[in-house]
Amino acid sequence: MILIKLGGSVITDKSAFKRFNKERVSGLCREIKDSGKDVMIVHGAGSFGHVLSKEHGLQNGYKSKEQISAFAKVSRDVRELNLMMISELIDAGIPPVSVPTGSCFIMDDRELIMNNDEIIREYVKLGIVPVMFGDVVLDRKKGFGICSGDTIMKYLADVFSPEAVIFVSDVDGLYDRDPKISKDAKLISEVTPDIMRTIPSETTVADVTGGVHAKIMTMLDMCSDGRDCILVNGTVDGRLRSLLTGKDVVCTRVRKKG
């Protein structure tokens, strides 16, 4: 099984509140289907989640009553996005089922608790693809918080031991400097913990769950011997399909050892 996260930067237009990239998503779903691979899918929230969450500081937990209506709106908005994702997957011939993180699980001081993952296991056994997503989630210590798709990926990778883990984003991979600022920024095709120590953490996009640097740190955490953890650009046609079918593509591979 291959675990794939379709990031919010690909499935939505992050600069426009609640704009779904329908065509791109449809293409990516077809690429996944065409590859013939067995997959599990997680998706991000993009502009359906980050905008309001940031405005109301939902990532910091419960602070005031006025956040409650924002919580409800974000919860609704990411479910709206999820439903569109589910429809695109079905249209591509993949049988998905929505498993909303905030409705099924809880956090404890920002840590996702998934003690009972029976529903996910049973869906997988039946050949139904559970689709989880970045969501607003209850938190035992903080009242509530944001659970990113990356956190969900970490959990699913631990439990299901996928052969590969793929993060689909809108960048070719990790650069040694911020490519939006430095013209001569170089793509790092293979990242190890040693290389990570030399990369400034400002090479990130500011959103409530961190950017590329934070993502690579999560990916490093998910690598086990023999398991590839890959960051690939999903805005380029066919790249995900090529990666899934074992072709050489532009991407960043994250490895524990050098």
Q: Which of 21, 29, 40, 44 binds ligand IPE (CB under 6 A)?
A: 44
Q: Are 32 and 131 in contact (CB under 8 A)?
A: no
| Distance set, CA 72 to CA 32, 78, 79 (Å) | 32, 10, 11
> Minimal CA–CA distance to 72: which of 98, 46, 103?
103
Q: How many Å apart are CA 3 and CA 124, to the nearest integer?
A: 12
In 15-126, at which residue ranges do the beta strands (DSSP E only) sit?
39-43, 96-98, 106-108, 111-113
Query: Edge-to-edge strand order for the sheet containing 228-233?
Result: 96-98, 129-133, 39-43, 2-6, 164-169, 228-233, 251-254, 190-191
Stretch that binds ligand IPE, among 45-53, 80-88, 115-123, 175-183 (CB under 6 A): 45-53
Q: How many Å apart are CA 99 and CA 152, to the nearest integer?
A: 11
Closer to ligand IPE by Cβ: residue 139 or 207 = 207
Q: Which of 21, 27, 28, 49 binds ligand IPE (CB under 6 A)?
A: 49
Closer to ligand IPE by Cβ: residue 66 or 248 = 66
CB count in 10 Å sphere of residue 128: 14
Can you say whether the dihedral through the CA atoms of 98, 99, 100, 101 is positive or negative?
A: negative
Q: Which of 27, 145, 149, 234 binds ligand IPE (CB under 6 A)?
A: 149
Q: How many Å apart are CA 248 and CA 251, to the nearest integer?
A: 9
Q: Which of 134, 162, 179, 234 binds ligand IPE (CB under 6 A)?
A: 134
Closer to ligand IPE by Cβ: residue 17 or 34 = 17
Stretch that binds ligand IPE, among 20-28, 119-127, 146-154, 232-240 (CB under 6 A): 146-154
Confirm or reject binding of residue 148 to ligand IPE (CB under 6 A). Answer: yes
Q: Are 50 and 205 in contact (CB under 8 A)?
A: no
Closer to ligand IPE by Cβ: residue 83 or 126 = 83
| Least gap, CB of 3 to ligand IPE (angstroms) | 14
Stretch that binds ligand IPE, among 22-30, 111-119, 145-153, 247-255 (CB under 6 A): 145-153
Closer to ligand IPE by Cβ: residue 78 or 89 = 78
| Least gap, CB of 167 to ligand IPE (angstroms) | 9
| Least gap, CB of 44 to ligand IPE (angstroms) | 2
Q: Which of 3, 40, 41, 74 binds ligand IPE (CB under 6 A)?
A: 74
| Least gap, CB of 171 to ligand IPE (angstroms) | 12
DSSP state of 172: S
Binding residues for ligand IPE, rule: CB under 6 A, are: 7-8, 44-46, 49-50, 53, 74, 78, 134-136, 146, 148-150, 207-209
